[in-house]
A and B are shown apart, each in its own frame.
Chain A
Amino acid sequence: MSKLDPRIHEVLDGDLPPERLPPELRAVVLRLERAAGLLRAGLAPASVAGRVLAALHRPEPSRGRRVLQWLTERHVITIAMRPVWSLALAAVLAAVVLVPDHGSAPLLGAQEGIARFVGHFPGARSVDVVGPFTDWHTGVVPLRDDDNDGVWSAVVVLPAGTHEYMFVVDGERWVVDPLAGRYVSDGFGRQNALLIVRPVGR
């Protein structure tokens, strides 16, 4: 890497007025300043404000809750075992998977209900619903439009209660559900949609 004339650094560090530089060195300074200017300006406007405040409105989980969350989330666990034990384990798993299980329809807990999300997004490549139940992340509850009529929907089981949510179209456009009927302020002058999920027992 070629070293620059120290006077170039002095000018860029504000230790030397640019007029003190010969023209060929001033051109180098201008080149660096132009590069910095391009990096400063060449970005599309973006905001994370809605995401941040939504996350802050959720109480921070307690240590016990975090442990419980870890236990109930999916993790890759590697177990080292002798080949003979791995064969035995494979046999047991095969028996469990291959034996037919009659009448095992998914059961809903007493405090759970079914939520249906529907939105009209013609031309969308993907639509997700996000809320505290997805940790405001996309990819957890994707909506589908199997007949390509622009109506996207998803049915999920959620804990009974009130849930805030938003649609995320094409992974980047956050859209309030115009059909929600109930809304709550996100604290920044915008709104999240509200959904009330009733327990199935009722």
Chain B
Amino acid sequence: MSGFADAPDADVIARILAGDGDAFGILVRRHEAGLLRFATRMLGSPDAAADAVAEALIRAYRHLASLDDPTRFRTWLYRIVANRCKSHLGRRSAQRVSLEEAAPVPDPHDGEAELERAEQLGLVERALRTLSPEKREAFLLKHVEGLSYEEMAALTGERIPTLKMRVHRAREALLEALKEHR
């Protein structure tokens, strides 16, 4: 399997569908960091994000044969994770903020630059949480995960002009929230 580690997603998928289920591990390792980052930022909780991503990957494996275009596997994965996140957010009370969702507390042993970075990250995370799930998703996909508008359209099922407008509104809302949380 090691010689296959750099193969494109579509080739790995072909191998899995031919019966080598363990090759799915290559895809998991390749994509899990981005998916976990996206889900953690969407949900504000690393534990909930791990659940969402694990469930999404299991679901993806079981429905791999139904994927029409294997070259779009990454976008497809993000779509499944995004849907999991939306279900999770729908179930969760908007007011409830657990301890792990609170801003990270900087370790006093860290250097000054690190403390400042942690403080700024806390500020951005708080600002991000004030955005509606749709705007948060749009900002994260575009600016944190680096998806193109075409990929976002395939992922969300929305039209590109709608998504552009949503990203623009998300930027404005985030800047506004950053001012308030200063």
> Which residues of B are in contact with A by a Cβ distance under 8 Å?
21-22, 24-25, 28-29, 32-33, 36-37, 40-41, 46, 50, 53-54, 57-58, 61-62, 104, 117-118, 120-121, 124-125, 127-128, 139-140, 143-144, 149, 164, 167-169, 171-176, 178
Contact = CB atoms under 8 A, between A and B. Distances in A.
Nearest to B170: A32
- The 3 A-B residue pairs with the shortest CB-CB distance, nearest first, are A36-B143, A42-B121, A48-B54
Given A9-B171, A31-B175, A48-B54, A53 B140 contact: no
A91 interface: no
B36 A39 contact: no
Interface residues of chain A: helix, strand, loop or mixed (majority) = helix
B25 A188 contact: yes
B46 A52 contact: no
A187 B173 CA distance: 44
A49 B25 contact: yes
A1 B53 contact: no
Given A31-B175, A40-B144, A48 B168 contact: no
Interface residues of A, number: 34
A52 B175 contact: no
Nearest to B53: A48
Interface string A1-36: 111100011001100000000000000100111111
Contact of B168 (A4, A35, A46, A187): A4
Nearest to B62: A60
A110 to B, nearest CB: 33
A49 B171 contact: no
Contacts of A53: 22, 24-25, 28
Contact of A39 (B61, B104, B117, B125): B125
A107 interface: no
